[in-house]
Homo-oligomer: A and B are copies of this chain.
Amino acid sequence: MPQITFLPGKLVCEVERGTSIPDAAEKCGAVISFPCACKGACAKCIIKVERGTLEFMDNGKLSEDLKRQGFVLACRSKVMEDVEVLIPSSVNEEMGQFSDALSRTGVNEDFFPKTQDLKPLALCEKLTVATAELLDGLGDYDRLVQAVRRQGSADAVDLPLDLLQRLPDILRENEGEVFIWRADIENTSHIVDITADVPLIDYGAAIDIGTTTVAIQLVDVARGKVIDTITQYNAQIDRGADIISRITYAKNHDRIREMRSLVLSTINRGISDLCGRNGGIPGSAIRNITIAGNTTMVHLFMGIRPEYIRLEPYTPTVMSVPFYRAGALGVEINPNALVWISPNVGSYVGGDITSGILCTDFTKDVEEVCLFIDIGTNGEIVLGNGDFLMGCACSAGPAFEGGGIERGMRASTGAIERVEVDCKTGECRYFVIGGGPAKGICGSGLISLLAQLLDAGIIDLRGKLDRSGKYQTIKVVGKTARYIIVPPGESDPGVYLTEHDIDNFIRAKAAIFSACVTLLNSVGMDFDAIDKFYIAGGFGRYIAIDKAQTLGLLPCIDEEKFLYIGNSSLSGAFMSLLSEKHRNKVAELANRITYIDLSTEAGYMDEYVAAMFLPHTNMNLFRRKESGVETC
């Protein structure tokens, strides 16, 4: 039997002589996309014959140029002898990395758009524009408008000037047979691009603008696949670590312009890097883009004064965000691309949350009650089911991200991310990200350490360290005790945790836990009512649930109810990029969420104070965990 090798993945298998490439690919596990269901019409399943020969029934749509380069349509080809073929997009080259990246987000793939639902905002379609006739009284533009109206549902056509300028040549290049990217919004067809040829890959970008990091995915929108992902620090970070300090900084027009240009520089560098390392894609080849970010990030990205977000009556300028073209917003992709931005719900429940809950059962309108929490500098919480949705936010402070902790740091190389405490001696082993020397401790390390110190009775429920002298690892410096993880060296202070750090942690976890309780109370529920507890945010990926429960950060419910969904804001932006259904769903969910302002909510302060202990003043809430102490 002849042997076929699929490059670049080197997937090899033997198949019967005469086996079609689609069948052979399936057998080998090679991924080729067949959008037109193997009718030979879409020319998207091209492969390149690198060695040997395929029987190619050349009756499909494939340009002479590509044929000369050795490409055939996979759907029209059969294996007759040993052959090596290349699946030519970088999509597949990067697939391994992508799958890995995706699986790490923890989002159930059921939530992702199905192939038949793939419908980016600006869909690439073939369009036949009538040929000019002598004295027909119609200009090129008139004939384009006629063709667009015939094909779409919108009456009005919005054609950017540069496309009008290129129109006469494009129409004549291929006798009116063109490809058009068209976004129909509210009775207007917004044209994004018109080309004489169809591109091999139709690119899109999904972006999560976080307060700390900006994550960007380069996406193959026709195949619904992530090609590559990049995450960078938001260049605004030097102008304030959290949302409030960013708002405070952006107090005048110059500062707003500066903040906008900082986040744009991050976004544009990320896009440029992604384009560069995936074969030198021109930015103009990215014709769809979606963005999710918190309310303040969205305002700063758009250059809108964020001040009123935090001034009573807490009115953001944009909740639902109007469409602008990328060129107007300064995003360096195709300047005519329409930028879709996930809607905000309130001052502190923004588009990152509405985008994020696309990754949850909120989308299914079921009776099961879900609680979604995105833990970062701010904690945003959404509670509800098919009947109701409520959202609120609390300021956790930066403790979970290593801020406000003397030796704290973000979860990057050199951070202690986990410890093992000997409950007899109080000494610990620690595990460092990247394996090198420890530079500090990150949020997950903090939780890991504190939970074990609490379990071992080395700290009390107020977070005070045992000063009896029983533990060598505890030192008192001034009025404050500290727990030494890594003793100081000659030139470095070591890594330790002070009682002050623990206070900060307690405040952060109390803010989040009491926000959850208050939201539940407002609808007369308690934690037992929750069927699914989604944990989102970069931080969420690393939390050990039992430890977080020990500390009273997470409630004592079945561990199975907890679902990590990682950067759900980015995953949601990816889904919205691909599917109209998902874009509509975000808008619907955003409309349904009732925004609660905790600062005016009766009972929140009491709940907060009650949660200022480890795990809580109300031990009944953590009874199961109490018994867990004996396991140490």
- A324 in contact with B161 (CB, 8 Å): yes
**How far is A140 from B302 in the complex, measured between Cα atoms in Å?**
14
Binds B, one of A116-124, A166-174, A436-444: A166-174
A309-345 residues with Cβ-Cβ distance < 8 A to B are: 312-322, 324, 328-329, 344-345
Residues on B with C-beta less than 8 A from A138 are: 315, 319
A159 within 8 A of B: yes
A164 within 8 A of B: yes
- B168 in contact with A304 (CB, 8 Å): yes
- B157 in contact with A317 (CB, 8 Å): no
Binds B, one of A128-136, A365-373, A410-418, A527-535: A128-136
* Residue in B134, B167, B318 whose CB lies within 8 Å of A312: B134
- B135 in contact with A313 (CB, 8 Å): yes
A137-171 residues with Cβ-Cβ distance < 8 A to B are: 137-142, 155-161, 164-165, 167-169
Could you tell me the distance in whole angstroms from the C-beta of A146 to the nearest C-beta in chain B? 12
**How far is A141 from B164 in the complex, measured between Cα atoms in Å?**
30
- B139 in contact with A320 (CB, 8 Å): yes
Could you tell me the distance in whole angstroms from the C-beta of A382 to the nearest C-beta in chain B? 15
Residues on B with C-beta less than 8 A from A320 are: 139, 141-142
**How far is A317 from B134 in the complex, measured between Cα atoms in Å?**
14
Residues on B with C-beta less than 8 A from A137 are: 319, 345-346, 595
- A303 in contact with B135 (CB, 8 Å): no
A186 within 8 A of B: yes
A625 within 8 A of B: no
- B187 in contact with A155 (CB, 8 Å): yes
A188 within 8 A of B: yes
Residues on B with C-beta less than 8 A from A314 are: 134-135
A597 within 8 A of B: yes
* Given A155-B186, A317-B141, A345-B137, A308 and B165 contact (CB-CB distance below 8 Å): no
- A167 in contact with B317 (CB, 8 Å): yes
A585 within 8 A of B: no
**How far is A345 from B165 in the complex, measured between Cα atoms in Å?**
19
A246 within 8 A of B: no
- B319 in contact with A156 (CB, 8 Å): no
- A188 in contact with B135 (CB, 8 Å): no
* Given A161-B329, A302-B164, A313-B134, A156 and B186 contact (CB-CB distance below 8 Å): yes
A48 within 8 A of B: no
* Residue in B135, B172, B595 whose CB lies within 8 Å of A595: B135
A305 within 8 A of B: yes
* Given A161-B303, A161-B324, A305-B168, A319 and B141 contact (CB-CB distance below 8 Å): yes
Residues on B with C-beta less than 8 A from A346 are: 135, 137
**How far is A322 from B167 in the complex, measured between Cα atoms in Å?**
13
Could you tell me the distance in whole angstroms from the C-beta of A515 to the nearest C-beta in chain B? 16
- B134 in contact with A188 (CB, 8 Å): no
**How far is A590 from B142 in the complex, measured between Cα atoms in Å?**
14
Most-contacted residue by chain B among A141, A172, A596 (CB, 10 A) = A141
- A318 in contact with B161 (CB, 8 Å): no
**How far is A292 from B140 in the complex, measured between Cα atoms in Å?**
19
**How far is A465 from B307 in the complex, measured between Cα atoms in Å?**
84
**How far is A138 from B318 in the complex, measured between Cα atoms in Å?**
8
Closest to A590 in B: B137
Closest to A158 in B: B322
**How far is A49 from B188 in the complex, measured between Cα atoms in Å?**
51
Residues on B with C-beta less than 8 A from A135 are: 313-314, 346, 595-597
**How far is A140 from B142 in the complex, measured between Cα atoms in Å?**
37
Could you tell me the distance in whole angstroms from the C-beta of A346 to the nearest C-beta in chain B? 7
**How far is A600 from B188 in the complex, measured between Cα atoms in Å?**
39
- B168 in contact with A317 (CB, 8 Å): yes
* Residue in B132, B157, B186, B318 whose CB lies within 8 Å of A322: B157
**How far is A142 from B343 in the complex, measured between Cα atoms in Å?**
12
Residues on B with C-beta less than 8 A from A158 are: 322
* Residue in B304, B308, B319, B595 whose CB lies within 8 Å of A142: B319
* Given A155-B187, A318-B141, A302 and B165 contact (CB-CB distance below 8 Å): yes
Residues on B with C-beta less than 8 A from A308 are: 140, 168, 172
**How far is A135 from B164 in the complex, measured between Cα atoms in Å?**
44
**How far is A141 from B305 in the complex, measured between Cα atoms in Å?**
13
**How far is A141 from B320 in the complex, measured between Cα atoms in Å?**
8
- A164 in contact with B595 (CB, 8 Å): no
Given A135-B595, A139-B317, A159-B322, list of 11 further CB < 8 A pairs? A139-B316, A139-B344, A140-B318, A141-B319, A155-B186, A156-B186, A157-B322, A165-B305, A168-B305, A168-B317, A187-B187
Residues of A within 8 A of B (CB): 132-142, 155-161, 164-165, 167-169, 172, 185-188, 256, 302-305, 307-308, 312-322, 324, 328-329, 344-346, 595-597, 600
Going nearest first, the 8 A-B pairs with the smallest beta carbon separation are A132-B315, A139-B319, A156-B186, A134-B313, A140-B317, A168-B317, A139-B316, A139-B318
List 27 A-B pairs, Cβ < 8 Å.
Answer: A134-B312, A134-B313, A134-B600, A135-B314, A135-B346, A135-B596, A136-B313, A137-B319, A137-B345, A137-B595, A139-B320, A139-B344, A141-B318, A142-B320, A155-B186, A156-B186, A158-B322, A161-B303, A165-B256, A165-B305, A168-B304, A168-B307, A168-B308, A168-B317, A169-B305, A187-B187, A188-B188
